[in-house]
Structure 1
Amino acid sequence: MLGIETSCDETAAALYQPEAGLLAHAVHSQVADHAAYGGVVPELASRDHVRKLPGLVQGVLRDAGLEAEALGGVAWTRGPGLPGALMVGAGFARSLAWGLDVPAVGIHHLEGHLLAPLLEPQPPAMPLVALLVSGGHTLLVQVAGFGRYRVLGDSVDDAAGEAFDKTARLLGLPYPGGPAIARLAEAGRPGAVRLPRPMTDRPGLDFSFSGLKTAVLHAVEERGSDEQGRADIAHGFQEAVVETLAIKCRRALEQTGCRRLVVSGGVGANARLRERLDALAAERGFSVHYPRLELCTDNAAMIAYAGALRLAAGERGDLDFSVRPRWPLAELPVPG
């Protein structure tokens, strides 16, 4: 199974075989191209996907020692994501599948992230609860089995990843904001800046981080004029996000009765978040599982894996390669 990912600013290709696992994968990041703009420029992203995707596909085939004719199917990210970027992957994938006379299937980007921890040598069993913190999405999902998902909580405004990027800009840090804030936070003093834990003082599992961004703005105006003040704000912000996510994860596990938590997406690579969730798991007696760091950010390995599962369940695409830039996870069809 060939997987293709072009939903935003990473171009990726991967090969997965159910019997052998992940055979090869490659990712080209466009971060350097977009850093000067403080965020992703959709037109630049689409053009770079056009330039890089064919070479990446050839590269993973070469790394796996395979010819294109060995492919049994092609999986591509149908959404959500940037419309133009998605169309690049869709057009390439459907054309390749048609030329090879193999099936193709469009994959939900968040389903890919949700399943990424299952690519590890000791994958968690289902049922479980998944925390998806990827780019513009922060969700808690109850997973009864493959394709059987129930969204427990969602972002009502800014997602955690967006809050990291916006806070980084307020602190004069480069894009992407997550790694930059994590580095600066190491020099911050615990407790020096106390920021709100949004929507944790009320029942429910939804997320909101726009108010936290506003609180950071006020903190920057008050004490962000020197390096120590900026480090204290970064530390306080990261702690607020991590604690908010941990509180909601605990609530979701208690509400569902599940004893397994998986964490996926770019923010899932944050070391402080992993440390806090590991401590919570030890305290509360549940297990927590993460994909390897290289599979936290957007990648095609998770798309190839999800595609293999959906093809095995009998799902087949047709010659229509329409994309879904906005695609709620709740609308994903149940396999079979």
Structure 2
Amino acid sequence: MSLQNIYILAIESSCDDTAAAVMHNGKVLSNIVSSQKIHEEYGGVVPELASRAHQQNIVPVVDQALKKAGVNKSQLSAIAFTRGPGLMGSLLVGTSFAKSLAYGLGIPLIDVNHMQAHILAHFIEEDDFEKPPFPFLAMTISGGHTQIVKVNSYSEMDVIGETIDDAVGEAFDKSGKLLGLGYPAGPAIDKLAKLGNPKTFKFTKPKVSGLNFSFSGLKTAILYFIQKQVKANPNFVEENLNDICASIQYTIIGILIDKLKLASKETGLKHIAIGGGVSANTGIRQALRDGEHKFGWITYIPKFEYTTDNAAMIAIVGHLKYLDGAYAEQNVMASSRLKI
């Protein structure tokens, strides 16, 4: 098969979304995501339920991705899959399926690091979307990760800052739970924050040296604040919900931007990209755009469909690794704590 006719089937199953995508020469032909609603009842992802749902969803999702793309299995060049990081049970479903399919079709198997995929989603062939030039800074923000990465090439990345406790997505979700917003709470806080005043309530930013993050202290501060106010006024949350959400979001965005400013100063890099589920947050996107005027940044913000867990981002890494002949062996194992 010529290098001008590369078809990649990609599978993503790191958490609670079963996703499959088909890519042709770097362009997305289909990007199917099946979300699991059952976790909303529990206020968070239940690993055992997630892996069971992946087992039910993976065959129909892959079938739908191939049909929507108009591609036959015999046309596929390789199968790419998320090796990690993520929930072990969920990863095993995708890994096992990908290995079996690649073996059955006699085509290469390509393992993908989920966090690298969030960054390299910027290299999906899309009209009107500029790709960041190497080297650049990437901030990956999600429910499980918060990192600043110096991206030197497609394959060489250095994590220069990361959370020492909770991820930013967890800070949004746990705060939302305190406010009775359900799970996941990030989108709800984002929506309500637009209606509130971000300066109404002041929350102290954690003092963490260097480029690392901490969100556990902020979560605790918000908890104590809510408890104290509700004790004085049982209707406090209901009466001030928009302002509380705006103030929480303002504080979290401030923490992220402060670290990005420092990273840009230390590395001298002005090209900055974001990725991960929390990068769908409109406040963060606006703060990044504001950074272009304030700090001289050149920013790269992915399409919404490439921010949350999806298989198109796995496909682009698969495409790039295919070009390099960087294939995986059949004995490759899923890794829940895989590092960049």
Same fold (TM over 0.5): yes
- How many angstroms apart in 2 are the aligned matches of 1:65 and 1:127? 36
Q: State the shift of 1:52 in Å.
A: 1.0
Out of 268, 272, 289, the residue aligned to residue 278 of structure 1 is 289
Instruction: Give distance in 2, aligned partners of 1:107 and 1:279.
Output: 33
The answer to whether 1:178 aligns with 2:189 is no
Cα distance in 1 for partners of 2:228, 2:189 equals 19
Report the counterpart of residue 332 of structure 1 in structure 2: none
What letter corresponds to residue 46 of structure 2 in structure 1? V
Asked if 1:29 is matched to 2:40, the reply is no
8 Å Cα contact 1:188-1:228 kept in structure 2:
no
| Alignment root-mean-square deviation, CA | 1.3
Shift of 1:299: 0.2
Query: What is aligned with 1:169?
Result: 177
3-state SS, counterpart of residue 234 of structure 1? helix
How far apart, CA to CA, are the structure 2 residues paired with 1:152 and 1:281? 22
**Within the alignment, does 1:86 sit opposite 2:91 as a pair?**
yes
Q: Which amino acid aligns with 1:108?
A: N
Task: Report if the CA contact (8 A) 2:270-2:296 is conserved.
Answer: yes
1:74 alignment partner, one of 74, 79, 82: 79
| Aligned partner of residue 86 in structure 1, secondary structure | helix
Q: Does 1:187 align with 2:195?
A: yes
Amino acid at match of 2:216: S
CA distance in 2, matches of 1:9, 1:165: 15
User: Per-residue deviation at 1:312?
Assistant: 1.4
* 2:9 aligned residue (2, 5, 26): 2
Is the contact between residue 187 and residue 228 of structure 1 (CA under 8 Å) also seen in structure 2? no
Q: Does 1:57 align with 2:54?
A: no
Q: What SS does structure 2 have at the residue aligned with 1:102?
A: coil
SS of equivalent residue, structure 1 residue 106: strand
AA aligned to 1:4 is I
SS of alignment partner, residue 322 of structure 1 = coil
Distance (Å, rounded) in 2 between the aligned partners of 1:8 and 1:147? 24
Q: Could you say what secondary structure the match of 1:4 adopts?
A: strand
For 1:277 and 1:228, locate their aligned partners in 2 and report how far apart those are by CA, in whole Å: 31
In the alignment, the residues of structure 1 paired with residue 82 and residue 70 of structure 2 have an alpha-carbon distance, to the nearest angstrom, of: 24
Larger mean CA deviation between 58-67 and 69-78 belongs to: 58-67
Matched-pair contact (CA < 8 Å) for 1:83–1:324: yes
Aligned partners of 1:9 and 1:290: how far apart in 2?
24
TM-fit CA distance, 1:116: 1.0
1:214 is matched with which residue: 220, 226, 229?
Answer: 220
Q: Any stretches of 5+ residues in structure 2 without a counterpart?
A: 1-7
TM-score under structure 2 length normalisation: 0.93
- 2:18 corresponds, among 8, 11, 25, to 11
CA distance in 2, matches of 1:75, 1:148: 19
Q: Which structure 1 segments of 5+ residues have no match? A: 330-336
Correspondence for 2:337 = 326
In 2, distance between residues paired with 1:123 and 1:24? 21
Secondary structure of the residue that 2:14 maps to in structure 1?
coil
Aligned pair count reads 325
Q: Distance in 1 between matches of 2:246 and 2:307?
A: 22
Q: Quick one: distance in 2 between partners of 1:223 and 1:280?
A: 34
8 Å Cα contact 2:198-2:249 kept in structure 1: no
Contact 2:10 2:315 in 1 (8 A): yes
One-letter code aligned to 1:7: S
For 1:27, the aligned partner's letter is V
2:55 maps to a residue whose letter is V
Question: Which amino acid letter does the alignment assign opposite residue 320 of structure 2?
Answer: L
Q: In the alignment, is the contact (CA less than 8 A) between 2:198 and 2:248 conserved in 1?
A: no
**In structure 2, what is the equivalent of residue 253 of structure 1?**
264
Cα deviation 1:108-150 (Å, max 9, x = unaligned): 1001001112224322222100000022100000011111111
Match of 2:118 in 1: 113
Q: Distance in 1 between matches of 2:280 and 2:239?
A: 25
What TM-score do you get using the length of structure 1 for normalisation? 0.94
Structure 1 runs, 4 residues or longer, greater than 4 Å off: none
Give the C-alpha shift of residue 184 in structure 1.
Answer: 2.4
Displacement of 1:307 after TM fit? 1.1
Post-superposition offset of 1:198: 2.0
Q: Percent identity?
A: 42
Is the 8 Å Cα contact of residues 206 and 214 (structure 2) preserved in structure 1? yes
Query: Tell me, what secondary structure is at the counterpart of 1:151?
Result: strand
Q: 2:167 aligns with which of 150, 154, 159?
A: 159
Letter in 2 for 1:305: I
What is the rounded CA distance, in whole Å, between the counterparts of 2:99 and 2:81 in structure 1? 8
Structure 2 distance, partners of 1:215, 1:231, is 18
Q: 2:243 aligns with which of 228, 232, 257?
A: 232
Structure 1 range deviating more: 229-238 or 240-249 = 229-238
**Do residues 99 (structure 1) and 110 (structure 2) align?**
no
Contact preservation (8 Å) 1:12, 1:299 = yes
CA shift, 1:303, in A, is 0.3
Q: Structure 2: how far apart are the matches of 1:285 and 1:260?
A: 9
User: Any conservation in 2 of the 1:220–1:230 contact (CA below 8 Å)?
Assistant: no
Partner of 1:242: 253
Secondary structure at the residue paired with 1:126? Answer: coil
Q: Distance in 2 between matches of 1:78 and 1:13?
A: 14
